Structure 1
Amino acid sequence: METVRPKGERGSVYYFFVNRTSGKGRSVEVWNEIEKILKEKNVQYQAVTTDTKEEALEILKELLCTKQAIQAIVALGGDGTIHSIMNELIGSSVPFSVIPTGSGNDYARARGISKDYRKEIEKLLLNEQKKIDLLEVGNRHCMTVVGIGFDGKVADEANKMKWKRWLGGTAYFFTILKVLLTYKPSEIKLKLNDEERLFKKVWLIAIANHAYYGGGIKICPIAKSNDGKLDICVIHSLPKWRLLFILARVFSGKHVSMKGVEYHQVEKIEVESDEPLFVTADGEMMGQTPTTVSIKKEAFHVMN
């Protein structure tokens, strides 16, 4: 299956971006089945198959510069692929959708998009569009969760893990245990809207637009992408052994009422720390603190 670059004008087309390396090669297997469905239904489509996010972005930029009628951009891949394509689509009215084939699939999980690709294609062809909020971090945007501190370090270590794409969400579990051995909490100054707060011994700050990150961790269980709010989870002032109890419940979202956990909903947050901390978004590295995150309401067109 070869990459086809966009050329000239044509009718309204669904463009499927297929990441060959995502999900242990599952993207290609799923695409082969999806293509059969599209042919059965006489749907106009174009496959764009790539090995890297960089290659996909180059082709997407070319496509958006043409005057072609695009029905939707559909990504077969994981959260990293989604993050890159979404940032390229910002400012356009082209709707976006995803068929989850990655290791984490947190965006798909939060939006109720299943791995039943036949069912999801049926939904996609209904052409029902809606707008969702995005998180704005500097000049970048994020669909799911910004992680700062312990979770930022975990994401950084997990991304370096040689076997991440084979272990899926389990990679985050093993990385959590590894990072926990040496990680030290920090002193953090937060500005929540206009209110300044000082937190000591902060383990992590999660800033969410959707509930999940890290391959199914329900860090901000009531986060919604259409309420115009950031959901903030701060875990602080705990010894390491108590943090373990919280982490044991965070996968189910039952940690928010526990001692040492604060939960807020705001439109903007500024984060300063006594030493630079990793900042991740959609599992991708975004830099270090200090940082500012704000909500960008109804900023993105989606098909699900």
Structure 2
Amino acid sequence: MKLMYYFLVNRTSGKGRSVKVWNEIEAILKEKNVEYQVIITETKDEGLAFINNLLTLNQDISGIIALGGDGTIHEIMNRLIGTNVPFSVIPTGSGNDYARARGISKDYVKEIEKLLQNDKKKIDLLEIGDRHCMTVVGIGFDAKVADEANKMKWKKWFGGLAYLMTILKVLITYKPSSIKLTLNNEERVFEKVWLIAIANHAYYGGGIKICPNALSDDGKLDICIIHSLPKWRLLFILANVFKGKHVTMKGVDYLQVESIQVDSDDPLFVTADGEMMGQTPTSVSVKKEAFHVML
């Protein structure tokens, strides 16, 4: 069967870097006589419309590859669930946490060589309401930080640094909450909870290694709960989060389950792949081998 690859290039991702990278990738594809089609989009809706058309036409699709960041990936993944179409990314966004967790580098020459080998596998996803998440669901402090960071006009210029700067801003006024968790079928109450991270991959927030043991093919959710700490102690833990060295510290619970229900005294922000999902109460479960990816 003839291989046919489809590329989605988000023009606005990475300060316009996507288009520059695409121009060089296209030259490689032509040199190798690879069959491909490309759409350069201004909005997420344009990319989704392109995918919808492909699926409607029942085309032979060897793979869909996005040039963009985690927001682009989140939307495409939610459209491709339930199909056998394999997906990958060339990271050109500000965060690139999905790519980081899967070992996909910014060396696009190397990554294209890997993609053209046409190797595939299935990975788990997080299911949250009627949406799915590739990387991490954040609840509480981290979700508030993500919400504030997404509002910043200069986020794309600073990447992970923007997230760190926003942490300090939100910390000034944020108050921890009492939360009841139903972990599988067991109820537990945690006091003064700062954040809950529910992970399918290790990273979020532009390189923060919140759940260092998270794997997308183990059928488990990795849960990191940071609670019962004063602000100064929280800062110390957050300083260690970037390298994943926080999980054994006092005030951190690290668990693995297959489902979690989160109920809080006051509504808390919820994000998935850095995108706003609403507020608590919320439920998250693992959807095993739900998505096809290219290696």
Same fold at TM > 0.5:
yes
Matched residue SS, 1:231: strand
Which residue in 2 is equivalent to 1:188? 179
How do residues 160-171 of structure 1 correspond to structure 2 at under 5 angstroms?
160-171=151-162
Which residue in 2 is equivalent to 1:301? 292
Q: Give the counterpart of 2:45 among 51, 54, 63.
A: 54
Which residue in 2 is equivalent to 1:132? 123
Which residue in 1 is equivalent to 2:165? 174
- 1:92-128: CA deviation from partner (whole Å, max 9, x where unpaired): 0000010000000000000000000000000000000
Q: Give the counterpart of 1:33 among 21, 24, 47.
A: 24
Cα distance in 2 for partners of 1:152, 1:58 equals 29
Which residue in 2 is equivalent to 1:158? 149
Which residue in 2 is equivalent to 1:206? 197
Matched residue SS, 1:134: strand
Structure 2 spans left out of the alignment, 5+ residues: none
Task: Between 266-275 and 53-62, report the one with greater CA deviation.
Answer: 53-62
Task: Return the offset for 1:62.
Answer: 1.4
> Given that residues 73 and 94 in structure 1 are in contact (C-alpha distance below 8 angstroms), is that contact kept between their aligned partners in structure 2?
yes
Which residue in 2 is equivalent to 1:241? 232
Matched residue SS, 1:212: coil
Matched residue SS, 1:298: strand
Matched residue count: 295
> Given that residues 206 and 219 in structure 1 are in contact (C-alpha distance below 8 angstroms), is that contact kept between their aligned partners in structure 2?
yes
Q: Which runs of 4+ in 1 moved over 4 A?
A: none
Task: Return the offset for 1:11.
Answer: 5.8
Task: Return the offset for 1:59.
Answer: 1.6
Matched residue SS, 1:218: coil
Task: Return the offset for 1:55.
Answer: 1.5
Task: Return the offset for 1:201.
Answer: 0.3
1:180 partner amino acid: L
Task: Return the offset for 1:287.
Answer: 0.8
Cα distance in 2 for partners of 1:13, 1:66 equals 14
Which residue in 2 is equivalent to 1:278? 269
Task: Return the offset for 1:63.
Answer: 1.4
> Given that residues 130 and 301 in structure 1 are in contact (C-alpha distance below 8 angstroms), is that contact kept between their aligned partners in structure 2?
yes
Q: Give the counterpart of 1:17 among 3, 8, 17.
A: 8
Cα distance in 1 for partners of 2:281, 2:58 equals 40
1:118 partner amino acid: V
- The answer as to 2:291 corresponding to 1:264 is no
- The answer as to 2:66 corresponding to 1:81 is no
Structure 1 spans left out of the alignment, 5+ residues: 1-9
Task: Return the offset for 1:12.
Answer: 4.1
Matched residue SS, 1:197: strand
Task: Return the offset for 1:249.
Answer: 0.3
Which residue in 1 is equivalent to 2:134? 143
1:191 partner amino acid: T
Identity %: 78
> Given that residues 11 and 68 in structure 1 are in contact (C-alpha distance below 8 angstroms), is that contact kept between their aligned partners in structure 2?
no
Cα distance in 2 for partners of 1:140, 1:171 equals 26
1:149 partner amino acid: G
- 1:205-243: CA deviation from partner (whole Å, max 9, x where unpaired): 000000000000000001000000000000000011110
Task: Between 53-62 and 217-226, report the one with greater CA deviation.
Answer: 53-62
How do residues 221-236 of structure 1 correspond to structure 2 at under 5 angstroms?
221-236=212-227
Task: Return the offset for 1:58.
Answer: 1.6
Cα distance in 2 for partners of 1:16, 1:31 equals 9
CA RMSD of aligned residues (A): 0.9
Matched residue SS, 2:62: strand
Q: TM-score, normalised by structure 1?
A: 0.96
Which residue in 2 is equivalent to 1:7? none
Matched residue SS, 1:29: helix
Task: Return the offset for 1:20.
Answer: 0.2
- 1:190-212: CA deviation from partner (whole Å, max 9, x where unpaired): 00001100011000000000000
Cα distance in 1 for partners of 2:77, 2:217 equals 17
1:59 partner amino acid: F
Task: Return the offset for 1:23.
Answer: 0.3
- 1:24-68: CA deviation from partner (whole Å, max 9, x where unpaired): 000000000000000000000001110111221122111111121
Cα distance in 2 for partners of 1:99, 1:293 equals 28
Task: Return the offset for 1:176.
Answer: 0.4
